[in-house]
Copies of this chain bind each other. A is one copy, B any other.
Amino acid sequence: MADQLLLPGATLFYSGFFVLASGALVLAFFVYDYSTYREDTDTEDLAVSELALNPLRGGPKDLPIANHLVDDDDSPEKKGSKHKPKLVILGTGWGSVALLKQLNPEDYHITVVSPSNHFLFTPLLPSATVGTLELRSLVEPIRRIVSKVRGHFLKASAIDVDFSEKLVECVVTEGDQQRHFYLPYDKLVIGVGSITNPHGVKGLENCHFLKDISDARRIRNQIVRNLELACLPTTPDDERRRLLSFVVSGGGPTGVEFAAELFDMLNEDLTKYYPKILRNEISVHVLQSRGHILNTYDEALSIYAESRFANDQVDIQTNSRVKEVTPDRVIYTQKDEKGEVVTKELPMGFCLWSTGVAQTEFCQNLANKLDELGDELPDHSPRFVLLSYPLTLSSGRLSVPYVMLYYLPVTCDSELRMLYAGAKELMRNTAEVGKIIEIDTAEDLEEIEEKLKGEP
């Protein structure tokens, strides 16, 4: 009897608890919701430095210098960091955001500059092109990340750096107008990323790229547009097959991931709502310049991907280099087994260009500034120079080796020579550089790029 009486009691207890907990949650939600509304919209007295509103001009090009920002006095914490060393971070990609997450807000006056106001979770971008993921779930507003370290954000493009005066030249485009200004720094972090490598191929304006969120949206629209056009009674047979021919140039991770996502969509969602003739006539092609796709990864992975694609009827063309892309065709050369080069072409309704990355114009400009470094080196005294040097390897891959230049002019006196020689290993270890390049004249700087490229 005790059993029968007590178990329902326990059930009642749990039911009661559940009801109470649910009630509390609903109540908590309304309290939270209420807290998100604010009634006081009084414009409070706001201290904004006159220098932030009308910056002084200066620097080599006599531009406004943004020494003070409009939100420098917005909170006591921000006021506190106003006179801290200025850390300027260019770009809002992986490098910049990883740094921002680890910074101590007490240490610097932080300013982030980028033409893009969000951080993008790039590995999932191929999934967003076919609608597996919502585009918005891949982005995080950079202002939210920056606010955690009490930083500032300026939506502008960095176009040049004056290393001697420690000024970043930024440009803002508004309609037809371009406005330039200088942003002063004490420490500068360059995380501007890279651009798609054109490899000198003609007709890339007929291709899609996959670097940014707007690229993903354009790709999605183009895929849907092609599918809808293919259903229409006015579309002739060969035109429909062309519209349904999806070509991916580049067998690296982006291209392979995209081809797989595309295939999944065509196979799973398409068949449900579109005429069946589309599924029968669709073709997905991957053009790869090397002998295997995913060739920078482990061989097992590469073989698995190839066998999987073969099973899925995704057509892989290896040893193929694209020569030209026209609005309706991709022309490429293929090396056959005998080593002979044949020119082939594919009709295409959509082409993704994902053949690796190249240096941005901004980085190229900075690299050219090594000459300026030469001007700064003294004639008779040694120097250590820490150099993070962006260059494009012959394989098309972007690499930014971090090295130490050990400048030791022949005319330098023996005491200084001893001093620097003794500090060399300490410097190498403290700075954690991989390689030391020794030079004895400023002219040797010109050979650095070749020396770095020559590395295994």
What is the copy number of this chain in the assembly?
A: 2
Contact B11 A6 (CB under 8 A): no
A63-74 vs B, CB cutoff 8 Å, 1 = contact: the mask equals 010100111001
Residue pair B273, A64 in contact (C-beta under 8 Å): no
Q: Give A173's nearest chain B residue, CB to CB.
A: B229
Given contacts A117-B224, A134-B136, A224-B117, contact A172 B232 (CB under 8 A): yes
Task: Verify if A53 is at the interface (C-beta below 8 Å from B).
Answer: yes
Is the CB–CB distance between B237 and A53 below 8 Å? yes
Q: Check if A228 is an interface residue, CB within 8 A of chain B.
A: yes
Interface flags, A213-249, vs B, CB<8A=1, else 0: 0000000000010001101111011000000000000
CB distance from A18 to the nearest CB of B (A): 11
Q: Which one of A36-44, A383-391, A401-409, A422-430 is at the interface? A: A36-44
A268 near B37 with CB under 8 A, answer yes
CB contacts (< 8 Å) of A175 on chain B: these are 327
A172 in contact with B6 (CB, 8 Å): no
**Residues A43 and B280 in contact in the complex (CB < 8 Å), given A6-B6, A144-B273:** yes
A234 and B7 form a contact (CB under 8 A)? no
The residues of B that contact A41 with a CB separation of less than 8 Å are 267, 312-313
Give a binary string over A1-44; 1 marks a CB under 8 Å from any B CB, 0 the rest: 01100110011001000000000000000000000111001011
A63 — nearest CB in chain B belongs to which residue?
A: B234
**Does A374 touch B at the CB level, under 8 Å?**
no
In this assembly, does A203 line the interface, its C-beta being within 8 Å of a C-beta of chain B?
no
The CB with the most chain B CB atoms within 10 A, among A37, A41, A70, A174, is that of A70
Question: Could you show 8 A-B contacts with beta carbons less than 8 Å apart?
Answer: A6-B10, A10-B10, A36-B268, A46-B276, A46-B280, A48-B277, A154-B232, A181-B234
Interface residues, chain A, with chain B CB atoms under 8 Å away: 2-3, 6-7, 10-11, 14, 36-38, 41, 43-44, 46, 48, 52-55, 64, 66, 69-71, 74, 117, 134, 136, 141, 143-144, 147, 153-156, 172, 174-175, 179-181, 224, 228-229, 231-234, 236-237, 267-268, 272-277, 279-280, 312-313, 327
